[in-house]
Every structure is written in C-alpha cells, then in structure tokens.
C-alpha cells in the first residue's frame, strides 16, 4: 500500500514538472500575466517585422516602431558596445505613467540617460543584446 502511494505522488510530481517546463503552468506575478494577455502582439506581423519590447519602459513595439540606440564601431565585428536610448513611447514619454526603469538596478533612468549594452550580431542579421546597466549603475 505504501509503494502505491509513493508511486502516485511521484507520478503527480512528474506531471507538474512537465506542465511547468512546457509553459502551461506558471508561478509568475499576476501583473506580468495580465500585461502579457492585454498587450502581447502576435509573434510576427504580415509584413515580416518581428515585434519586441522596450527594455526601458516595457512597452510592446508595434508595426515599424524601433528602439533608438547608438552602436559604436571597434572591437570585434560580432561584439559591439551600444547605448539604448528608448522607444517612441518613452522618449519623450507619451504619458506621465510611463516609467523608464533600468532592468539591472531597478532605478528610474532620466530622459537624458541611457542603458549601456553589448550587442552581438548573429548570422542572418539578428541581434542579441546583453544589458550591462544604466548611466547611474554602470559608470566607466
């Protein structure tokens, strides 16, 4: 009888782990789930442009909206330093509700501030970015 109970508990645990790793069961915050349901655009638009999310304000970019950034030459061609200034929604801010927050230190980034990041160019023209910090927490 004890072996049967242990077997049932292990089966339930394995099923829960499978649901968590497949993404069907999450333990995230309600705010994040609500935002994802409300404003999450489809993965790709009909014109082939992939949407993204602004790392400063968290607003989903729609259509041909792009993040304003400065990429510096030098170093390896695949690894460059870049400054992320913001998107059309947070630079200048459309409403006072939009907050520009650093994803590293969680402090408010001023309008004249930026994020410092490393940009890696992948094959096919795709870019990958590692954010190092803002003008306040990543001073050189």
Check whether 21 has a pLDDT greater than 50: yes
Q: What pLDDT score does 48 carry?
A: 40
Q: Considering the domain boundaries, does residue 11 fall inside one?
A: no
Do 86 and 52 touch, CB atoms closer than 8 A?
no
- For residues 48 and 115, give the distance between their C-alpha atoms in angstroms, rounded to a whole number: 27
Which tokens belong to 80? 């460059």
Write a three-state SS string for 67-104: CEEEECCCCCCCEEEEEEEECCCECCECCCCCCCECCC
Q: Considering the domain boundaries, does residue 12 fall inside one?
A: no
What's the total number of domains in the chain?
1
What DSSP character marks residue 130? Answer: E
- Which domain, by its residues, includes 101? 41-134
Do 81 and 109 touch, CB atoms closer than 8 A?
no
Q: Considering the domain boundaries, does residue 48 fall inside one?
A: yes
pLDDT average, residue stretch 118-124? 81
Q: Considering the domain boundaries, does residue 115 fall inside one?
A: yes
Q: Considering the domain boundaries, does residue 82 fall inside one?
A: yes
65-77 pLDDT, tens digit per residue, is 888 888 888 766 6
Q: Considering the domain boundaries, does residue 6 fall inside one?
A: no
Q: Considering the domain boundaries, does residue 25 fall inside one?
A: no
Q: Give the pLDDT band of residue 35 (cuts 50, 70, 90).
A: very low
Q: What pLDDT score does 140 carry?
A: 60
Of the spans 29-38, 41-50, 69-78, 113-122, which averages the highest pLDDT?
113-122
Q: Which of 15-19, 57-61, 106-110, 115-119 has the lowest mean pLDDT?
A: 15-19
Name the helix (H) or strand (E) containing 39.
Answer: helix 30-39
Q: Considering the domain boundaries, does residue 17 fall inside one?
A: no
61: phi then psi, degrees, rounded to nearest 5: -90, 135
The model's pTM is 0.59
Do 13 and 6 touch, CB atoms closer than 8 A?
no
């Amino acid at each position: 009888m004890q072996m049967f109970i242990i077997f049932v508990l292990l089966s339930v645990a394995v099923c829960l782990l499978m649901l968590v790793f497949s993404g069907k069961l999450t333990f995230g915050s309600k705010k994040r789930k609500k935002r994802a349901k409300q404003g999450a655009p489809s993965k790709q638009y009909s014109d082939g442009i992939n949407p993204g999310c602004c790392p400063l304000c968290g607003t989903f970019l729609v259509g041909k909206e792009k993040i304003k950034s400065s990429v510096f030459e030098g170093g390896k061609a695949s690894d460059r330093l870049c400054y992320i200034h913001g998107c059309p929604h947070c630079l200048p801010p459309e409403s006072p509700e939009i907050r520009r927050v650093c994803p590293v230190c969680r402090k408010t980034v001023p309008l004249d501030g930026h994020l410092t990041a490393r940009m890696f160019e992948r094959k096919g023209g795709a870019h990958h970015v590692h954010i190092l910090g803002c003008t306040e927490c990543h001073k050189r």
